[in-house]
Copies of this chain bind each other. A is one copy, B any other.
Amino acid sequence: MKYSLNKSASVVALATSLTLISGTSFAQDATLASVAKETSYVFNTLLFLIGGFLVMFMAAGFAMLEAGLVRSKNVSMQCLKNISLYSIAGIMYYWIGYNLMYTGVDGGVMGSFSLFGYGFDEVGKGSTGSYSTASDWFFQMAFVAATASIVSGTVAERLKIWPFLIFTVFLTGIIYPISGSWHWGAGFLKEAGFNDFAGSTIVHSVGGWAALVGAIILGARKGKYVDGRVVPMLASNIPLATLGTFILWLGWFGFNGASQLAMGTIGDVSDISRIFANTNLAAAGGVVATLVLMQIMYGKLDVTMALNGALAGLVSITAEPLTPGPLAAILIGSAGGVIVVFAVPLLDKLKIDDVVGAIPVHLFAGIWGTIAVVFTNSGATLSAQLYGIACYGVFTVVFSAIVWLALKYTIGIRVSEEEEALGLDRSEIGVEAYPEFTFGRG
């Protein structure tokens, strides 16, 4: 922001100076100012568009990650859930979400409710603001979908398709937009001084809480916990999970970088660059931390943990990717990796069956990242951060519990034991993911 001030300042300087010698100052000022304004408008909008398509691609990342980590008999289902939730998220966020989150919140707890109330700039005309309305909508929409993707991974392999899609409608149309408005919509948490740059809490923890509640209400997969023992259910396709992780890593540059919300000045684009570098270093730290820790604790590496470690590093830096120096970014990300190594077995001890490790990655690392803001951002206070974390936690847990339970006691949320044994691909959608590779298997 500082820079745009400087700029307009100099524009003014020019205006005045010219006023002294001619009546052309207005035209002059207008011209230079308009060139500068137009340029920064284009840059800001371009940032949203690039950031938007990168975050949109994260939907593919989640789909591949989850498709790779579930057993082959549930892979088609995971693919279907992911492309469906991304589609529903877009429609819901247009239909009611965006308004709930961004219009007329002013320090309150939610925006205005209006169906299809949201319109883009007229064709050929831009907005009067400093970026295009549609570009902002597109960018914000991609975030909503990420929240829903987090849930689908945790509750995989036993949740019916339609209840999941209905939950997605509530999550993307109501839960996320309302809670999002508290901070990004300039609601009460903004005023309370809560800081969450790109959504460690607003996106990732919210998704994580919803997933946690879902996992508890749904129960573990049959045969996962037998007489105290944890029975591993192996990932069916490791390279697919690896690809998904890399795609998410790529998308995260848009997720964090474009959350700078402006690119038209030297200051903004340089901050975006810091964010890119920090985001990458945090993910790298997460990976290396899991490698070292797995070797120490188990004497063996585990690729799925390394993948979770990368994502935990990314989630950890998301609340504040700008202010940390490179070393701080590495450390913040590494802590995320450490969290994964300890939290994954912990959840199993608690018999909470999180198929893809989304709860450690998105909820726990999300909380950690939100707290870690205070280490590098002097503007943040621990109390405000904890307050924000608590607000999002309570709201999401309560609201999603209501939706999950309502679904459970109406249409039911879980497939039958036989269907679960047979696999959701055949029982729910009748299309096996790899009909030829699993000859003789359900």
A: which residues have CB within 8 A of B? 1-3, 6-7, 10-11, 13-14, 17-18, 20-24, 27-28, 30-32, 34-36, 38-39, 41-43, 45-46, 48-50, 52-54, 56-57, 59-60, 63-64, 67-68, 71-72, 75-80, 82-84, 86-88, 90-91, 94, 116, 118-121, 123-127, 132-135, 137-138, 141, 161-162, 165, 234-243, 245-247, 249-250, 253, 257, 263-267, 269-274, 276-277, 280-281, 283-288, 291, 295, 300-304, 306-307, 310, 322-323, 325-327, 330, 428-441
Contact = CB atoms under 8 A, between A and B. Distances in A.
Contact of A57 (B17, B20, B71, B246): B246
Closest 4 CB pairs of A and B: A17-B24, A60-B246, A126-B270, A135-B273
A138 B20 contact: no
Contacts of A165: 291
Contact of A270 (B23, B84, B121, B288): B121
B138 A273 contact: yes
Contacts of A60: 242-243, 246-247, 250
Given A49-B276, A88-B288, A235-B431, 17 more contacts: A42-B263, A42-B265, A56-B249, A60-B242, A76-B303, A77-B303, A79-B238, A84-B288, A91-B285, A119-B325, A120-B277, A141-B280, A161-B301, A236-B434, A238-B431, A302-B430, A437-B438
Nearest to A92: B284
14 contacts: A2-B124, A7-B35, A20-B22, A32-B32, A32-B35, A49-B253, A49-B257, A82-B242, A88-B288, A124-B270, A125-B270, A135-B272, A302-B429, A302-B430
B434 A300 contact: no
Copies of this protein in the assembly total 3
Contact of A239 (B13, B79, B238): B79
Nearest to A91: B284
Contacts of A38: 3, 7, 265-266
Contacts of A286: 87
Contacts of A53: 54, 250, 253, 276
B42 A43 contact: yes
A316 to B, nearest CB: 14
A9 to B, nearest CB: 9
Contact of A273 (B120, B238, B306): B120
Contacts of A141: 277, 280
A27 B56 contact: no
Given A88-B288, A116-B327, A302-B430, A39 B39 contact: yes
B238 A76 contact: yes
A435 B236 contact: yes
Given A245-B83, A287-B83, A274 B121 contact: yes
B17 A284 contact: no
